[in-house]
Amino acid sequence: MIAGLSIQTFTTLHVIISLIAIVTSFVVMFGMLASNKLPGWTAVCLFFTVLTTVTGFMFPFAGFTPAIGTGVVSSVLLILALVGLYIKKLAGSWRWIYVVTAVAAFWFNVFVLIVQSFEKVKLLNPAAPMVGPPFAEPTNTHFAIAQGVALVFFVVMGFLAARKFRPGPPLSF
């Protein structure tokens, strides 16, 4: 039991939260490319991305795992993104710090989505990589290609977003 839910129910909830975070992250990232802050979408995106990380830490685990490491790095990135956006108001270098950390946190969610898809989706499961201690090389080229394409996509999108995201000053009433 986790938070009063069976592990299966909690896992389903975690997956739904993660998928909402990923879908809203796409909206926010493409908003960045158009230099649009999309404050409502961004708030929902960051909320569900933080919730994804928090619920990920709630699963039972023994010792340090790659999943825990991913969660820790994602947490640091999200803290920087939140500080840059809501505390520093994207002033000066905080604009690009926000963009880079938000896109990197988004990539981590997609990275985990790809890993979980290769492990759990029946169609992809025969192509799943062998997992060995710690951080074994992927043994399947389909998995490596999927992760490589995702990484290149996010590096390019993050670079473009950092260059193009220049929202105007906040409106005052």
The pLDDT value given to residue 171 = 47
pTM of the model: 0.86
To the nearest whole percent, how much of the chain has pLDDT over 70?
Answer: 88
The pLDDT value given to residue 3 = 86
The pLDDT value given to residue 106 = 96
The pLDDT value given to residue 173 = 45
Q: Which residues in the chain come in under a pLDDT of 70?
A: 125-140, 169-173
The pLDDT value given to residue 167 = 83
Give 134-149 pLDDT, tens digit per residue: 545 545 677 888 899 9
Give 79-90 pLDDT, tens digit per residue: 999 999 999 999
How far apart (Å, rounded) are the C-alpha atoms in residues 92 and 102?
Answer: 16
12, 73, 100, 115, 139 from 66: Cα distances, Å: 21, 11, 22, 11, 17
The pLDDT value given to residue 45 = 97
